[in-house]
A and B are shown apart, each in its own frame.
Chain A
Amino acid sequence: MKTYILQRLGLILPNLIGITFISYGIMMLAPGDPAALIMGTGVAGQMGRRGPTKEDLARLRHEYGLDQPWYRRYGSWLSRVATLDFGKSMNPKDRRPVWELIRQALPITLVLNFWSLLLIYLVGLPIGIYSASRQYTWLDRTLTIALFVLYSLPSFWVATNCLLLLCGGDYLRLFPITAMTEQCCADREGFGALLHRGWHLFLPVAVLTYASFAFTSRQMRVGMLEQIRQDYVRTSRAKGLSERMVILKHALRNSLIPVVTLFGDLLPALLGGSVIVEQIFSVPGMGRLDFEAITQKNFTVVMGITTISALLTLVGILISDLLYVAVNPKIRFD
């Protein structure tokens, strides 16, 4: 087991380098000169406004190392990242370090994703187990239809309607319009503040969550159905165990494998933000940071986020592989 873990850990590094190399290559291949892109915005479209001069562009290109060949740039980027330095944002309007930008955007995204993922599993798995154990009953069918309806509703549409109907204006005023709480939270303490924060987060978390119930519950249901038909389930029923015992003790553990596989995505999913939800609920999170960086070809920021997500994905896959052992004693890594 120990050697296996060490082996896997050893593989993470070359994997990570490969991923960053390919990501870097894709960024490089996309058309458009980042320097011109960065400087052009806000200037073009303004009549008679003079754009950046050739000298200005050259200066910026030099400052960001864009005048060097790509392999040298990638090399210097890699050696900097080795010392955990992701460099500074390549936007001349906001030259703060990439770390700082991520640190600023990450907390709110983490909170949103944590609650939404927790809910997805907390609600999705029991529904899956429930419908598997009552396959083809009217309850199973109703749940299936309801979840698929939820799954089909586009999140921007739901979010906008939530805003229109539940956030005041001409209709009900149940929730605030933004996920951020700074303005009104300063004077609250303890449980009150927590509750208040929950009130602010309710709609965004709900919108992030509802569509995924279908996915997790279906995964769970399929896994469960496969197990229920196995001989050992028949045996345990035959020896007189209660149905509850049969399902939750024997079948559940084995049917968790497909779900555990999904855990590999959990860590990077915590980090990734939803551009749509962030846009609608005015959340300054990771989704917008990443999206904006990509449109501006902000190499350092995009690569910073990519590297961290890649690392988390690799670690997540390792964890889910190790979890297999926990849920299935038949699997051994020796």
Chain B
Amino acid sequence: MPPLPSAWAARRAPLELSTLLLAFFLAASYSSLAAQTPVDAGAEATGAGAVKADAYNDQTDPNAKPVNGGTVVFRFSTEPKTLSSEIDSSAMTQYVVANIYETLIERNPETYEFAPLACESFVWEDLVVRKDGTILRGNAEDQQDQVVVRPPKGEAVSVARADLKEVRKGASMTFYMRKGATWHDGKPVTARDVVFSYKAMANPVVGATSVRSYLTDIQNVELLDEMTVRYTYSKQYWAALETAGNLHMIYPEHLFDPDGLMGEVEAPVDAAKDKFLAAPALTYNVGTGITAEMQAEFKKAGLKTVSVWKDPETFGKRFNEHERHGAPIGSGPYRFQAWQRGSSLTLQRYVAYNGTWKPHIDKIVYRFITENVAAIQALKNGDVDFNFDLTPEQFDVEGVNAPFTKDHVVTKYFIPNFGFVAWNLRKVPFNEKLVRQALAYGALDKDLFNKEILKGRAVSIEGDQYCFAPAYDRNIKPYPFDKKKAEELLRKAGWIDHDGDGLRDKDGVPFKFELLSPQFGPNDPAARRVAIIIENLKRLGIQMTVKMLEWTSFTDRLDRMDFDACQLSWAMSPENDPYQNWHSSQTGEKGSNFTGFVNEDADKLIEASRLEMDAKKRAALFIKLQGILHEEQPYLFMFCNPDYLAYGKKLRGVKIYTLRPGYDVRDWWIPKELQ
């Protein structure tokens, strides 16, 4: 056997190396151009509020009326694995599927509030449980010795405190389905489909793992009539509306479960082990798997039978591999037309769509172009109309490329994210607040970095909420970059260079640590940031080394809490529940609180915020928490980084939002003469 010809062997070189080198080469070839600064047409996003359409398109006619028709071609860098956003939770899949299927409600990208989508209207109510077990729904108002419940219709009822078992604010949601809405095969969309979809997602055999853990607090999902469905929560939680109505898509029952495998059957308690409750029993929620202990409890309570799902096992297996995930039939504004694997995916406007927000564009094509250079070429050739995945280098170059900007809008946009350096608070020296504060003073001149390296495009942040959202604390005074102050704090904490080796030490331990990081390229701003931090810390008498790890090894180290410091960025919801990240109960293995942050005041604030249903009051609690985080510095907060997009100016009505994905096709239209 001769050795493999080297050229063939070289073809199997690892991908990362190639892209890394590629970035290097490209940057080198671009460097002469980059001497100019691009006209930053970027959205100066201000968060919630009305967004101006076509803000950067100089070819628009302000008097023109939107017309239907035309095709828009998107560039996708990766291909969805399957068209079910619960099974494949990647961003690309979500972007495609959001046009085909609907959720019950959606977040309006201008107001940040929830609006009906598959439903026509919804009622979000409080739940009042009397001691005798009867339930009242409506607006519960606390009064001195009683609770007054005001249902939407009918008379108010007062419940004396003595009769009251519990009040769960916002634990009841009733959705009234949109009349006349149809699946793309013509069958009507009903509340039955909603109940079915909930059951499918709650079924543990179904591969919707990222969704299911949010459903555990749902006590019951009931069909009130053909067009009405009601969710009841067993706990009070402010994000309940979002998890009930916006977490997963609604799937057509008639296609995914024609045999009624997720239907209810009565099973004798003795034979119910490992089956799943189809209706709440005793204190257990719908969807709970029945254990031996539960069987005993049921028997003790005198139950003969319980209502369970018929055959979730078979259903789950079928659902996971269902051919409809390759050619879905949904109820959204676009219907699936074709998917040429590896090449493109095409959607067609669903003419019978009767939602309130109707699209104008007739056809959406997603073209899978893996290479960024090819993608920009496709845009220039007119093969692609919209690319939301420009690299920062491309933004720099194409933003000042006059022939390109003549017909294309190039701009930055934000989706909820922020970057940070996290300290492991379990370890010396990061267990001391003074040290962490000193690092905040001395590690990085964020303003200068943003101005010089990031060209002023990022938003420097000081808290854990999305910087454009109402719950972000805009009044926090950032730690200024101040070497003297940092030195003073380190001295105060006892970190002094006793042995004169240039490194500060305390109790014989020198100030050395390792920063873990996911891999980044040599041109990545993260690389320069790390280099600057190393230099700044050296001047403070601190030695930092960097260790880059491939993503899974990186998260593995975090899960095991085996690190000194790490850098990372979060993608997040516009309103973030701080529980996972900061509550002391989440410091264990696999918890998101990997810094090991434990603070009694913070715990209290977080617990209170979880129960606070009023968004304004909740924002106030979040802001208080950000104050504590700022003082305690478990994270060194960095930046909210923009993404970059470019699109052909033939597209009109384009609005750049501050919520994912940053745009909405339903806004867009193309003038007749350009279609």
- Give chain A's interface residues, CB within 8 Å of chain B: 31-32, 36-37, 39-53, 55-56, 59, 91-96, 104-105, 108, 151, 154-157, 160, 163-164, 167-170, 173, 177-178, 180, 182-183, 208, 211-212, 215, 261-262, 264-265, 269, 272, 274-284, 287, 291, 317
B90 close to chain A: CB less than 8 A = yes
Residue numbers in B under 8 Å from A173 (CB-CB): 381
The verdict on A163 contacting B320 (CB below 8 Å), with A48-B573, A269-B8, A275-B12 known, is no
Proximity bits, B79-115, A CB within 8 Å = 1, else 0: 1011000011110000000000000000000000000
- 21 A–B contacts, CB within 8 A, in A order: A31-B553, A36-B552, A41-B551, A42-B210, A44-B551, A45-B570, A49-B210, A50-B214, A56-B204, A96-B321, A169-B377, A170-B380, A177-B374, A177-B381, A178-B369, A183-B344, A261-B2, A262-B2, A282-B374, A284-B79, A284-B368
Please measure, in the bound complex, the distance between the C-alpha atom of A177 and the C-alpha atom of B343, giving whole angstroms. 12
B271 close to chain A: CB less than 8 A = no
Closest to A92 in B: B207
Q: Which of B79, B320, B344, B590 contacts A51 (CB 8 A)?
A: B590
Closest to A55 in B: B204
Near A by CB (< 8 A), chain B positions 551-592 give: 551-553, 555-556, 568-573, 576-581, 590, 592
- CB–CB B5/A262 < 8 A: yes
Please measure, in the bound complex, the distance between the C-alpha atom of A56 and the C-alpha atom of B590, giving whole angstroms. 14
Near A by CB (< 8 A), chain B positions 56-89 give: 79, 81-82, 87-89
- CB–CB B373/A48 < 8 A: no
The verdict on A212 contacting B1 (CB below 8 Å), with A157-B25, A169-B376 known, is no
B599 close to chain A: CB less than 8 A = no
- CB–CB A48/B592 < 8 A: yes
Q: With contacts A104-B341, A164-B377, A284-B368 known, what are 4 further pairs, Cβ within 8 A?
A: A46-B570, A168-B381, A177-B369, A183-B367
- CB–CB A48/B580 < 8 A: yes
Closest to A160 in B: B373
Please measure, in the bound complex, the distance between the C-alpha atom of A144 and the C-alpha atom of B580, giving whole angstroms. 64
- CB–CB B320/A92 < 8 A: yes
Please measure, in the bound complex, the distance between the C-alpha atom of A152 and the C-alpha atom of B233, giving whole angstroms. 66
Q: Which 3 A-B residue pairings sit nearest by Cβ, starting from the closest?
A: A284-B342, A47-B570, A274-B11
Residue numbers in B under 8 Å from A180 (CB-CB): 340, 342-343
State the main secondary structure of chain B at its contact with A. Answer: mixed
Residue numbers in A under 8 Å from B370 (CB-CB): 278-280, 282
Please measure, in the bound complex, the distance between the C-alpha atom of A49 and the C-alpha atom of B404, giving whole angstroms. 39
CB proximity of A105 to chain B, nearest CB, Å: 8
The verdict on A281 contacting B204 (CB below 8 Å), with A50-B213, A317-B1 known, is no
- CB–CB A151/B7 < 8 A: yes
B121 close to chain A: CB less than 8 A = no
B6 close to chain A: CB less than 8 A = yes
Residue numbers in A under 8 Å from B580 (CB-CB): 47-48, 50
Closest to A261 in B: B2
The verdict on A93 contacting B344 (CB below 8 Å), with A46-B572, A275-B11 known, is no
Q: Which of A93, A154, A170 contacts B401 (CB 8 A)?
A: A170
Closest to A168 in B: B381
The verdict on A215 contacting B6 (CB below 8 Å), with A45-B571, A48-B573, A279-B19 known, is yes
Please measure, in the bound complex, the distance between the C-alpha atom of A265 and the C-alpha atom of B8, giving whole angstroms. 10
Query: What range describes how many residues of B lie at the interface?
Result: 35 or more
Report which residue of A39, A56, A108, A276 has the largest number of chain B beta carbons within 10 angstroms of its beta carbon.
Answer: A276
- CB–CB A272/B579 < 8 A: no
Closest to A108 in B: B342
B371 close to chain A: CB less than 8 A = yes
- CB–CB B381/A93 < 8 A: no
Residue numbers in A under 8 Å from B568 (CB-CB): 45
Residue numbers in A under 8 Å from B404 (CB-CB): 170
CB proximity of B196 to chain A, nearest CB, Å: 21
The verdict on A93 contacting B373 (CB below 8 Å), with A48-B572, A48-B579 known, is no
Please measure, in the bound complex, the distance between the C-alpha atom of A49 and the C-alpha atom of B209, giving whole angstroms. 11
The verdict on A40 contacting B380 (CB below 8 Å), with A211-B7, A279-B370 known, is no
The verdict on A287 contacting B11 (CB below 8 Å), with A47-B576, A265-B5 known, is yes
Please measure, in the bound complex, the distance between the C-alpha atom of A53 and the C-alpha atom of B5, giving whole angstroms. 47
B18 close to chain A: CB less than 8 A = yes
Residue numbers in B under 8 Å from A278 (CB-CB): 370
Residue numbers in A under 8 Å from B14 (CB-CB): 275
CB proximity of A15 to chain B, nearest CB, Å: 11
Please measure, in the bound complex, the distance between the C-alpha atom of A215 and the C-alpha atom of B11, giving whole angstroms. 14
Please measure, in the bound complex, the distance between the C-alpha atom of A8 and the C-alpha atom of B87, giving whole angstroms. 47
Please measure, in the bound complex, the distance between the C-alpha atom of A44 and the C-alpha atom of B557, giving whole angstroms. 13
Residue numbers in A under 8 Å from B79 (CB-CB): 284
Near A by CB (< 8 A), chain B positions 204-247 give: 204-205, 207, 209-210, 212-214
B301 close to chain A: CB less than 8 A = no
- CB–CB B209/A39 < 8 A: yes
CB proximity of B667 to chain A, nearest CB, Å: 26
The verdict on A93 contacting B81 (CB below 8 Å), with A46-B572, A48-B580 known, is yes
Q: Which of B7, B15, B210, B572 contacts A279 (CB 8 A)?
A: B15
Closest to A184 in B: B383
Residue numbers in A under 8 Å from B579 (CB-CB): 48
Please measure, in the bound complex, the distance between the C-alpha atom of A275 and the C-alpha atom of B10, giving whole angstroms. 10
Residue numbers in A under 8 Å from B581 (CB-CB): 47-48
Please measure, in the bound complex, the distance between the C-alpha atom of A45 and the C-alpha atom of B89, giving whole angstroms. 13
The verdict on A53 contacting B209 (CB below 8 Å), with A160-B22, A163-B371, A282-B370 known, is yes
Please measure, in the bound complex, the distance between the C-alpha atom of A305 and the C-alpha atom of B12, giving whole angstroms. 14
B255 close to chain A: CB less than 8 A = no
Closest to A52 in B: B209
Near A by CB (< 8 A), chain B positions 388-444 give: 401, 403-404
Please measure, in the bound complex, the distance between the C-alpha atom of A59 and the C-alpha atom of B317, giving whole angstroms. 12
B35 close to chain A: CB less than 8 A = no
- CB–CB B7/A264 < 8 A: no
- CB–CB A168/B13 < 8 A: no
Residue numbers in B under 8 Å from A264 (CB-CB): 1-2
- CB–CB B369/A48 < 8 A: no
Please measure, in the bound complex, the distance between the C-alpha atom of A185 and the C-alpha atom of B15, giving whole angstroms. 30
- CB–CB A94/B11 < 8 A: no
Please measure, in the bound complex, the distance between the C-alpha atom of A151 and the C-alpha atom of B320, giving whole angstroms. 47
Please measure, in the bound complex, the distance between the C-alpha atom of A51 and the C-alpha atom of B378, giving whole angstroms. 37
Please measure, in the bound complex, the distance between the C-alpha atom of A262 and the C-alpha atom of B455, giving whole angstroms. 54
- CB–CB A45/B569 < 8 A: yes
Closest to B558 in A: A44
B26 close to chain A: CB less than 8 A = yes
Q: Which of A45, A169, A182, A274 contacts B344 (CB 8 A)?
A: A182
CB proximity of B407 to chain A, nearest CB, Å: 12
Residue numbers in B under 8 Å from A154 (CB-CB): 21
CB proximity of A231 to chain B, nearest CB, Å: 27
Please measure, in the bound complex, the distance between the C-alpha atom of A104 and the C-alpha atom of B89, giving whole angstroms. 23
Q: Which of A164, A183, A262 contacts B373 (CB 8 A)?
A: A164
- CB–CB A47/B209 < 8 A: no
B162 close to chain A: CB less than 8 A = no
CB proximity of A168 to chain B, nearest CB, Å: 4
Q: Which of B10, B18, B371 contacts A281 (CB 8 A)?
A: B371
Q: Which of B6, B88, B573 contacts A94 (CB 8 A)?
A: B88
Closest to B379 in A: A169
Please measure, in the bound complex, the distance between the C-alpha atom of A180 and the C-alpha atom of B340, giving whole angstroms. 10
